[in-house]
Every structure is written in structure tokens, then in C-alpha cells.
Structure 1
């Protein structure tokens, strides 16, 4: 099977719909960084799309579901996928708790304690990324690094500041 052209099987734009809502300047900054990182390096292709990318992604929230509206570079719609966020609730909650522990540890723990907490944080992030990759399987082809960047964005979408 031919592999898609990496210059075409990728995102060139990610937009957050008004349903996502706006938050504090710090949260908005984190969202912008997550989007920048995702666009900067990704592998993204809707399964079964006979056309060509690159793609634009518009994310919105509808009743605790994340809507992926995918379009071509010129704005022509390709497909929309709806993903339940329920499988991510526990992972995101645990991830935020361990991040809080990490930030506290930076202030008053030993380097080995900080490293142990950071390993746990990275492990949870990997679990969330794999869950996202699995949930998108058969819908959107992404590599693990793209899943990590998308999971970061999912986390930031939940963060209220």
C-alpha cells in the first residue's frame, strides 16, 4: 500500500469553534501553543479520503463530544467525525492532578522526586494519546506524535484556568 505524501497528509490549520468557549489569557495562550505545535509537525489524513490534503480542522464541542470537521486547504468539506470525550475524563483528571503535583514538586522537592513525578505525568500523557489514537482509528490516520499533540489540545480544551 502506498503511503500518503507527508506534505499532503497533514494539518495546515486548526480552528476552535465558538462552542469551545474562551477562558483566561493563560489558558488561551496554552491553547495557541498547543495548536501551533500541532500544525508545526503532524501526520493527519481522513481514512478513505480519495482527494488530497493538506487539511483544515475545525474543533467544536456538542454535548460532551468533540466534533472534528475536516476540510481541504480550499475549505471544501471532507468529513466530520464526532468523538465522545467520556473515555478521556478520568485520564484528563488524573493528568491535571499529577501536573499540579509536578509544579508543586518543582518548588520544594529533590530532583529525583521531580523526575519520578514527571515520568508519571509523561506516562499518563502517553496513555491519553494512545486512547485518542485508538478512538480515531478507522476514521483519521495519525501517528503517535500527532496523537500526543492532539491529546495536549484536548487537555487544554478542558482547562479552565
Structure 2
């Protein structure tokens, strides 16, 4: 009797944020990083267009003015590497951090309706960043919007050191 075939798994099984250990994150940003990683690894859809079927380990890093995605297969072999120019998403990242800062300040002193308005703006920018990231990677990767949102959060965390 033949061994059962294991179906390909179009998902991210692990994420490595390159060079993150050199910086100290604020408690709020560390919480965002942990939440994004947990949620991403729990539920995602990520498939290389022309590559191994997955699951994958995704290495995210910065190289000068580029965001670098390096994708490895289960066996550790590199099966994809692609870059996104940071200039394309830098404004969104900056605006997102400004709104996050406003949100964290607002939850201490403002009314619920004001907090909700700031949070809606923050989520809107987050969605815009996720859609832009998804668009820039679509020739290499198929992913759902939730995966793109969580990856955008991790890109923002990486950008802190840039």
C-alpha cells in the first residue's frame, strides 16, 4: 500500500523578520507585531504563482530602499525572492504610524466616538497599505486580503528601523 499523498499547503508556516533584534519596540508596537504574527500563522492564504506549493517560511527584510521577500519551502530551499520599492508604501507607513500614535493617545483621554473615528481612519489606511502590497506582489504571490493586512503590519514594524 502506497503512503498517503500530502496535499500542497498554500500558506505561510513561519515568518522571519530580518534585523529586528537590533531595535527595541514600544509595548504597543510589540503587541501589534505579536498579534499580526499570531493571526498570520493561524490563518493565511499565500501561494507562489510560479514556485513550490508550500507551506512556506517568509523572510521579510529591508535592503536599502527595497522591501525584500525571500520565500523558502518546507525543506529550506529558496523558492522565491522579490522586492517592493519602499518609496511606494513609505507614505502609507508614515501616515499609519501617525494614526496609530493618535489612536493610542486617544484611548486614554477621548470620547468613544472620537476614538472610533480615529480607529476607522487607521483601519482604512491599513487596508490601503494591504491592497498596495497585494497589488505589488500579485505577479509573484496570490494572497487573500487578511494575509496582506498582517504582512503590511509586519512591514510597518520592519520600517521602524529604516
Q: TM-score range by the shorter chain?
A: 0.7 to 0.9
Query: Residue 36 of structure 2 is aligned with which of 34, 38, 60?
Result: 34
Give the 3 Å change call, closer, same or farther, for CA 44–24 of structure 1 in structure 2. Answer: same
> In 2, Cα distance between the equivalents of 1:60 and 1:94?
21
Q: Which runs of 5+ in 1 are unaligned?
A: none
3-state DSSP of counterpart to 2:22: coil
Q: Paired residue for 1:91?
A: 92
- In the superposition, the TM-score normalised over structure 2's length comes to 0.85
Q: Paired residue for 2:22?
A: 22
- In the superposition, the TM-score normalised over structure 1's length comes to 0.86
Q: Paired residue for 2:75?
A: 74
Return 78-87 or 34-43, whichever deviates more: 34-43
Runs of 4+ in structure 1 deviating by more than 4 angstroms, as ranges, are: 27-30
**Aligned-pair CA distance for 1:32:** 3.9
> In 2, Cα distance between the equivalents of 1:150 and 1:103?
21
Q: Paired residue for 1:124?
A: 125
Is 2:47 the partner of 1:45? Answer: yes
User: How many residues were matched structurally?
Assistant: 154
Q: Which runs of 5+ in 2 are unaligned?
A: 1-5
3-state DSSP of counterpart to 1:53: coil
> In 2, Cα distance between the equivalents of 1:120 and 1:7?
38
Q: Deviations over 1:41-70 (max 9, x none)?
A: 111111122x32111111221112111111
> In 1, Cα distance between the equivalents of 2:16 and 2:67?
13
3-state DSSP of counterpart to 2:158: helix
Native 8 Å contact 1:6 1:43 kept in 2? no
